[in-house]
Amino acid sequence: MKPTVAFRWAALLSAALLSGAPAARAEPPPADPCAVPESVLTVDAHLPRARDRLRTAGALPILVVNTAKPAAERGEASYPARLEKDLTARLPGRRVTVTVRSVPGATAHEMLPVLESAVTELRPALVVWQVGTMDAMRNVGPDGFGEALVTGIAQTHARGADILVVDMQYSPQTSQLMTFRPYVEYVEWVTQNNDVFHFPRYEMMRHWIEEGRVTIGSESKDDKLKAFTFVHGCVARLLAQTIAAMLDRAEEGAP
């Protein structure tokens, strides 16, 4: 469930051992600043319903359900808007649309009715469900959180749409005040049991921050905006990349 911990432990140990060695080879910066290792992100699910819709209708309507309320001036930089652009570029000739339904301040359980009505009304092929932040902030019982996840996934599948789950954001500061771990683990566990893709935003952001690719906690307004643009841009890019990969995977050898 927490593969990265072991890797980091090993990495730390070897780093500690190597640091004494002369002329340790400096890692070249990765070409893609968004890139995360496979231990963080692996594509392990299919999108059979979305693939069918894409094949029959040539369109991929996506619905993002989240708790965010971006200020108007940042709308373009937020990941749903970027996702639409990135995915359109990856699926030439297909119509990709991203619609957002935001339920600010809602727990997983409180999001369920909105999720249900939006899926009924908009008939998306794929739902991106960003969930868990409020549950962690409000210390909602993790078991109840897990049950709400199962319900949300089942009701979306029942209406003929695929769903993937995006977990919480990470920063050392926010994680110091809120206990995200059990909720991230629940997302991993429930998605695995339901063959649904878990987009590990928490571990990704942790990777970016620990690698120094993005800095959180600076006072300057410019730095804050830079962090926002970087995180949302990378989330959108990797989300587009994995969705495209899952659609390909389904075409190759789905049952």
Partner 1 sequence: MKEDGRDLRLDFFRGLALWFIFVNHIPGNQFAWLTSRNYGLSDASEVFVFISGYTSALVYAKVYARSGWGLAAARVLDRCWTLYLTYIFLFIAFTAQVAYTTRAFDNPLFAEEMGIAGFFADPAVALVQALLLKFRPANLDILPLYIVLLLAVPLLLPALVRRPVALLAASGALYVATRHLHWNLPTYPEGGEWLFNPFAWQFLFVLGGVLQRFPGASAALTRPRPAVLVLAALYVAASLVLALSWQFATLGALMPPRLGEVLYPISKTDLDPLRLVHFLALAYLVLQLARPDSAWLRWRAVAPVILCGRQSLHVFCLGIFLSFAAQTILVQVNGSLFVQFAVTLVGITTMILTARVLTWYQTAGRPPRTAAPALGDSGA
CB of 139 to partner 1, least distance (A): 3
Q: What is the CA radius of gyration of the chain?
A: 19
Please tell me what DSSP assigns to residue 161. Answer: -
CB of 82 to partner 1, least distance (A): 14
- Out of 46, 62, 65, 70, the residue judged to bind partner 1 by CB under 8 A: 70
18 counts as binding partner 1 under rule CB under 8 A: no
Distance CA 70, CA 75 (A): 6
In one letter, which amino acid is 235? V
Q: Beta partners for 166?
A: 130, 199
Nearest CA-CA partner of 53 in 124, 115, 118, 152: 124
Distance CA 23, CA 131 (A): 45
75 counts as binding partner 1 under rule CB under 8 A: no
Binding mask 192-231 for partner 1 (x = CB under 8 A): xx----------------------xx-x----xx-xx--x
- Out of 114, 122, 137, 245, the residue judged to bind partner 1 by CB under 8 A: 137
Place of tokens 């570029």: 89
On whether the CB atoms of residues 45 and 202 are closer than 8 A, the answer is no
- Out of 43, 68, 150, 245, the residue judged to bind partner 1 by CB under 8 A: 68
CB of 90 to partner 1, least distance (A): 25
| Site residues for partner 1 per CB under 8 A | 1-3, 5-6, 8-9, 12, 15-16, 39, 66-71, 74, 104-105, 107, 133-134, 137-144, 146, 169, 171-179, 182, 186, 189, 192-193, 216-217, 219, 224-225, 227-228, 231-232
